[in-house]
Structure 1
Amino acid sequence: MDLDLNWKPGSARIHTWIAMDKYGHLASMLNNGYGWLPSILLDIPNIKEKLSDLCEFIDGDSSKYINDIDKMGSYLIDLYSSWVYKNYDNKKMIIDELDNELKCGNRYSDAVIGAKMGMFFFQGLEGHSKGEDYPVGYDGETKMGDYYRFIVPTVFLTIEDIPIPLRNYIVVSDTLDFTKDRLLDNDKISEYFPRMYHD
């Protein structure tokens, strides 16, 4: 299904987009099939292809842009999915696994987003049914599609690290602070992120 203003979340419609908070911190946003994308983003012609270019750069898979970024920082796990990590006894087990992936050089590890790229990582709550997935460590009420803060970097990526042509596909919030805001209401995604980045 094309990414446009008629697009709606669904379990097979997994997309990643990049967001900036009011202080310039950058985050990778994975909707996990159930999270909305900002309407300002969906209104851009051919945004699916342009988002692919941006995300491939972030992942180090781009044939158009070289990514030699290494912030040489670390990462923290904030909230995590009760559904994805249902077989893990505690947060330490998740950290140990991610630390091992970093040590082994797994460049697709979620930890790379924080430690190497210096980005926050938010994910949409998923699961097979309502209430099956919730963010462990969060006391408030949540629903499928809400974005929870999974990875927190210790050193931050800046917009100057992103190739100029790709900056135009980053959505910006004038109210959020990724260092403090841990849970984003899925119904308000377009309110949180009303505009695109521009120099």
Structure 2
Amino acid sequence: MSIKDLNVNWKPDFGTIFLWPAMDKYGKIAVMVNNCWGDLPKALLSNPHSISLLDPFMEHIFEGLDMYSQYSYKKHGETILDLYSGLKYREYKNRKEIEKQVFEESKRENVISDEGLPAQKGLFVYYAVESCTHGEDFVVGYKGKTKMGDYFRFLIPTVYASIENFIKELRPAIAVSDTVDFTKDRLFDNDKISEYFPRMYS
């Protein structure tokens, strides 16, 4: 499955991970990683033009060989670990070990990783709860209940990006919220993702 398979009838399923950009009510930007099970906003799925821009947008922020590379930017901030996957980091002894790994990854200059997006691009990063079966993964640091597909705030930037950092041709790829605040909202119910982000940037 690829970006070309996304449409209004698409449903989350095992096999393919999709990344999509989002903007909160204050204009801050996040990358949402669906980890197979996270839903995508209906506003995005019903917009073929926005879907077609997902790959170029991600290629741009990860600094691949894209046509907009001359508009690339750096924020020179830091990456802060917030919540994290108990499944993904099950081999680590404690939070400090994970924070060290996140810090080291965020400073890599030759290749930007997810950990580098907050420090270098000023982007929040949310991961969806993953696993092969319900309950296999859990969100460390969150006191409430979670389920597969719920998006939790994984990484936080210290210097924020805004819509102005992105060339206008790529902006329609961004799902927009009038209620969400990335600096405060740590978890998004997967069943309500289209309510959180009801429209695309225009």
Paired residue for 2:63, among 60, 63, 69? 60
Paired residue for 2:118, among 105, 114, 119? 114
Unaligned runs of 5+ in 2: none
SS in 1 for 2:153: strand
Paired residue for 1:22, among 21, 25, 41? 25
Q: What's the % identity of the aligned pairs?
A: 48
| Structure 1 equivalent of residue 141 of structure 2 | 137
Letter in 2 for 1:179: T
RMSD: 1.3
Q: Deviations over 1:26-58 (max 9, x none)?
A: 000000000000000000125443210111111
Q: Does 1:123 align with 2:133?
A: no
Unaligned runs of 5+ in 1: none
1:47/1:68 CA distance change after superposition, 3 Å: closer
| Structure 2 equivalent of residue 154 of structure 1 | 158
TM-score (norm 1): 0.95
TM-score (norm 2): 0.93
Q: Does 1:11 align with 2:3?
A: no
Equivalent residue pairs, number: 198
Paired residue for 2:44, among 41, 44, 47? 41
- Please tell me whether the aligned partners of residues 53 and 62 of structure 1 are also in contact (alpha carbons under 8 angstroms): no
| C-alpha distance in structure 2 between counterparts of 1:104 and 1:188, whole Å | 35
| Structure 2 equivalent of residue 188 of structure 1 | 192
Q: Deviations over 1:108-138 (max 9, x none)?
A: 3222111000000001100121011111000
| C-alpha distance in structure 2 between counterparts of 1:196 and 1:104, whole Å | 32
